[in-house]
Structure 1
């Protein structure tokens, strides 16, 4: 029952990492604490977010298609996250780490990537501020939504880290309507709850 409700809520029918919702001061964002989980990840450095994300996505798609030490297909999950760690200056390369959540059945012993550029990431518990938006996303729209999230958090006196930040997508590129995208800012844990 709960799983079917979650699938209906997230609309994709794909497995999602578990989180605990926190009380939010604003109506225009959520606060989630994601539990410790394993993800398969790959990092790409570059100047442009969209080509780096596409490169990372293709690498990880090969992993779930069987490019791993167990040569097994791994179920697609959602969201696909991209952690953006901006370079030190305007002409500096940023690091884009694209990640797929490892499905529950592989969490305890994830297949190891055979691509040297992919790795298993044990993501520790993480509290993030989340802004959800629709449509097809790109670096420009995710940046606009990130700025709106920052404004909301400043309005409410919430403490957050400006970098790195996440962009998250829940839908196949073939889904044309009712798309779900998110931007995440990491809660600054110096703040006492």
Structure 2
């Protein structure tokens, strides 16, 4: 179960900044139950291939909802935020460290998609960027690119 928001932006980082702010309000208690929700990881953002650049594109950022809220998840006060249940999925994942800038995220994703292009089981129309560490965490960061399986 995920809390998510879709944002229209020109760049991944612009979308992540706008989306993160909205999701933080939700977890800080701006929801119908006025409950504070634990910040969980990974924070993931869905990116359509070729989206980041000069044109507006949709990006969907999501946080996993803590398991203790599954039976009665708080509804968002912000109409843009959704609580969604997803069916089980399988992903091919590339893990890397550091504090990547936007170009590095996109380069890693493109390299990974190129490496997986011959595997027809992998969806190459989009990818997820996933972050496990808070922005101010400097050492031993875990970043991932996810490609969904068909």
TM-score by length of 1: 0.72
Q: 2:112 aligns with which of 130, 133, 149?
A: 149
Aligned-CA RMSD value: 2.0
* Cα deviation code 1:25-51 (max 9, x no counterpart): xxxxxxxxxxxxx11000101211101
- Other-structure match for 2:123: 161
| Deviation, structure 1 residue 114 | 0.5
The answer on 1:178 being equivalent to 2:137 is no
Counterpart mapping for 1:135-146 below 5 A: 135-146=98-109
Aligned length: 150
Q: Which stretch of structure 1 is more off in the superposition, 115-124 or 76-85?
A: 115-124
- Other-structure match for 1:40: 3
Greater RCO, 1 or 2 (C-alpha within 8 Å, sep 6+) = 2
- Other-structure match for 1:128: 91
The answer on 1:53 being equivalent to 2:33 is no
- Other-structure match for 2:33: 70
**Local SS of the residue matching 1:161:** coil
TM-score by length of 2: 0.91
CA contact (8 A) 1:86 1:94 kept: no
Larger radius of gyration: 1
| Deviation, structure 1 residue 124 | 1.7
- Other-structure match for 1:93: 56
* Cα deviation code 1:118-160 (max 9, x no counterpart): 11121221111100111112321111111222233246x4531
